Structure 1
Amino acid sequence: MATRDELYAKFGITAEATQLFEAELGTMLLCARGLEHGWHVEADPDSARKLLDDIDRSTLGRLLGSLRNCVSLDDGLTECFASALKARNRLFHGFYESHNFKIQTDEGRDAMIADLEVLHDELFNAWQVASAMTATATKFVLELRGTPVHPVRA
């Protein structure tokens, strides 16, 4: 039976997955726009800063829309990211409200933890996909610049 502290910890871990996903999308968007504007050839720190500030102010939904405008995403990626957006919105805009008074009982907290597990899995998986895409894009940019790419060894 989950305690309130365990519930709050799981909520925090799920929120972390959301923020990591958002950060990867922002990095991907910055990379795509940088390629589009040739910043890998000639740096433009003022424009890059302006874009980064815009990315930092963006909602997840806006980030996804901006990304779709400059990167071709197949149906599977589009669905994965759209599903993660729904999970994020449910987490931050209705999780406690939808569970109402369940927090008051052991069984209710267990149900809330189970719901958070589902949300976390959705968001964590989207983050992993976005992270792999960002790693590939970074490798591509480094190769364009002629920077040696060394494999990461565990």
Structure 2
Amino acid sequence: MATREELYAKFGITAEAGQLFETELGTLILCSQALEHGWHVAPDGEKARAALDEIDRSTLGRLLNTLKGRVHLEGELEKKFASALKARNRLNHGFYERHNFKIQTDEGRDAMMIDLEALHEELFQAWQIVSAITSLVSEIMLHGADRTP
């Protein structure tokens, strides 16, 4: 039986996974812009800062749309990222409201933990995927390779 403290801790861990996914998407977008503009060869701090500021002002949904405009996403990858966006929105926009008074009982808290586990898994997997892609793009930038990941 989950305690309130365990529930709150799991909520925080799940929110962290969502933020890591969002941050990594921003990093991937910035890397793609750097490749496009050659900032990895001839740095342009002013334009890179403007790009980063735009990324920082973006919602997760907007970041995903921006990424789709820069990188061809299809099939399971596109579905995974769309599902992660829905998971993050379910977490951040009404998780406690949807569960209403469940926090008051042992069974209710257990049900909330099951929901948080599923949300965490969804967000964690999406973060791991985009992190792997960012690592590949970074490697290409660092080594100047002409290969496609």
The aligned counterpart of 1:150 is none
Tell me which residue corresponds to 2:74.
74
Q: Which residue of 1 aligns with 2:64?
A: 64
TM-score using structure 2 length: 0.95
Q: Deviations over 1:106-128 (max 9, x none)?
A: 10000000000000000000000
Structure 2: which 5+ runs fail to align? Answer: none
Give the deviation of 1:74 after TM superposition. 2.2
State the distance in 1 between where 2:124 and 2:69 align: 24
Instruction: Give SS of 1:73's match.
Output: coil
Q: 1 CA distance for matches of 2:41 and 2:124?
A: 34
Q: Which residue of 1 aligns with 2:32?
A: 32
| Equivalent position SS for 1:34 | helix
Q: Within the alignment, does 1:87 sit opposite 2:90 as a pair?
A: no
Aligned residue for 2:144, secondary structure, equals helix
Structure 1 residue 10 displacement after superposition: 0.2
| Partners of 1:139 and 1:38 in 2: CA distance | 15
So what's the TM-score if we normalise by structure 1?
A: 0.92
Question: Counterpart of 1:37 in structure 2: which amino acid?
Answer: H
Which amino acid is 1:32 matched to? S
CA distance in 2, matches of 1:28, 1:43: 17
What is the 5 A alignment of 1:2-151? Answer: 2-144=2-144
The offset of 1:40, in angstroms, is 1.4
SS in 2 for 1:41: coil
Classify the secondary structure of the residue corresponding to 1:107.
helix
Residue type at the aligned position of 2:25:
L
Q: How many corresponding residue pairs?
A: 145
Letter aligned with residue 94 of structure 2: G
Give the distance between the partners of 2:10 and 2:90, measured in 1 at CA: 15
CA RMSD of aligned residues (A): 0.9
Determine what percentage of the aligned residue pairs are the same residue.
67
Query: Secondary structure of 1:83's partner?
Result: helix
Q: Distance in 1 between matches of 2:75 and 2:128?
A: 17
Q: Which amino acid aligns with 1:2?
A: A
What is the deviation of 1:51?
0.7
